[in-house]
Structure 1
Amino acid sequence: MPVVDSDPTTQRALGYPPRRVVPPAAAKLRILATADRLFYDEGIRSVGIDRLISESEVTKATFYKHYGSKDRLILEYVKSRHRAEVAVTEQVIDQAQTPKDAVQALVAALVADIQRPDFRGCAFINAAAEFGDEGHPVRETVNEHRDWYTDTLAALFSRLGHPLPGDAADDFILARDGAMAGGYAGDAIAASTALQRASVRILDI
């Protein structure tokens, strides 16, 4: 999670103490964790503020102090999901020996995710489905996430020597989206196996 004050302790006037980096309040993190669980499991619009407050074990005043509205909490939920996926994806890529190993590790992580008992599909596609207005901040955040993911994959395929890295990234994401939707709505094993087959074809250059 980001800190409340992320400004580094540099460029301070002489004689003043360094600025202290303050972590987010425990209640704020608890509200976000509760929203993350409920929004993903049950849908964003179906979960009301009263339930969020009750299951977060905070007061209404505390909720509004930290988020001000459900809309702000929804946006932070999507942004926090993005930050988490960026961190995991970067770790997978950093630990891989080669770009091909990185792609295969990403596929393995997706397969493991799809086969979780509590898997409910892609959180970003789910969020986009609930907000039809393309200009809504949630949709804009989802689009930014998908642009980042596409660029990350295209860079991997480029390093791998693929002649059309952008096309390969688009093919991978299409297979990934289909596997996540099919894994939730249908047979998780069949969907994840199909994703593995598609990734082999994309890597076969």
Structure 2
Amino acid sequence: MVHNTRGRVSEARSRLLATATRIFYAEGLHSVGIDRIVAEAKVTRATLYRHFPGKEDLVVAYLQGAHEMERDGIDKAVASGLPPADVLRAIAKSITGGIGSAHFRGCAFLNAVAEYPDPAHPVHRVVLEHREWFRSTVTDVLAQIGEAPPEPAGRHFVMLRDGAMVSGCLSDPAEVCDTFLEGVEGILQRR
């Protein structure tokens, strides 16, 4: 992380990342050029390259920021002291909250992996790391509920989430959210 002399995150870096995040999520990764990000962030190309050696480094930082935001929300649910089934419901509600938001454009990670299909590419690897963390977290909650074995139910939850993320862009978001929440309740009722 780049810091200024007072130890704070560079304002230019923050502007670059906020601008890239907004545009990448709304329009896609490959379709957005560095010139546009630099112009909208009101920084020079040299400033961009001082903070991010290349566009893919900026894409990775964007995805890492999305991961941290999602992780913070889920960590709060996990640490809430709620019974594990309610923690899983809270995670599901946070997902439906995103799907129902005004500017929802799908899952940032699923969108990114569609543009970077090579498993060896750094962007693809960030997506896989995020998905592994998410699946593992959900599986841990299911294990606390008493789901035996929790791994298949965790994979089922992730698949339901993936389907809801895609369908939320293509269908009525309210209907998609209801169907997703019904699927989560189905997972909980099987235990």
**Structure-2 residue corresponding to 1:100:** 85
For residue 77 of structure 1, the aligned residue among 62, 86, 93 is 62
For residue 66 of structure 1, the aligned residue among 44, 47, 51 is 51
For residue 105 of structure 2, the aligned residue among 106, 120, 143 is 120
**Structure-1 residue corresponding to 2:177:** 192
CA distance in 1, matches of 2:131, 2:85: 21
How far does residue 102 in structure 1 lie from its aligned partner after superposition? Answer: 0.4
Q: 1:118 to 1:197 in 2, by over 3 A?
A: same
**Structure-1 residue corresponding to 2:41:** 56
Q: Which of 1 and 2 has greater Rg? A: 1
For residue 153 of structure 1, the aligned residue among 135, 138, 153 is 138
Please tell me whether the aligned partners of residues 4 and 21 of structure 1 are also in contact (alpha carbons under 8 angstroms).
Answer: no
> Which structure has greater helix proportion?
2
CA distance in 2, matches of 1:61, 1:135: 28
How far does residue 181 in structure 1 lie from its aligned partner after superposition? Answer: 0.4
1:130 paired with 2:97, answer no
Q: Which amino acid aligns with 1:142?
A: V
Indicate the structure whose relative CO is greater, using CA pairs within 8 Å and at least 6 residues apart.
Answer: 2
TM-score by length of 1: 0.88
CA distance in 2, matches of 1:84, 1:21: 25
CA distance in 2, matches of 1:62, 1:4: 11
Identify unmatched segments of 5+ residues in structure 1: 6-19
**Structure-2 residue corresponding to 1:172:** 157
Identify unmatched segments of 5+ residues in structure 2: none
Runs of 4+ in 1 over 6 A off after TM superposition: none
User: Identity across aligned pairs (percent)?
Assistant: 35
Matched position secondary structure for 1:95: coil
- The number of aligned residues is 189
**Structure-2 residue corresponding to 1:202:** 187
TM-score by length of 2: 0.94
How far does residue 96 in structure 1 lie from its aligned partner after superposition? Answer: 4.2
CA distance in 2, matches of 1:142, 1:162: 27
Cα-to-partner distance string for 1:76-134 (whole Å, 9 max, x where unaligned)? 11111112211111012212411111001111111111011100000000000001211
Matched position secondary structure for 1:46: coil
Matched position secondary structure for 2:184: helix
Deviates more, 1:194-203 or 1:93-102: 93-102
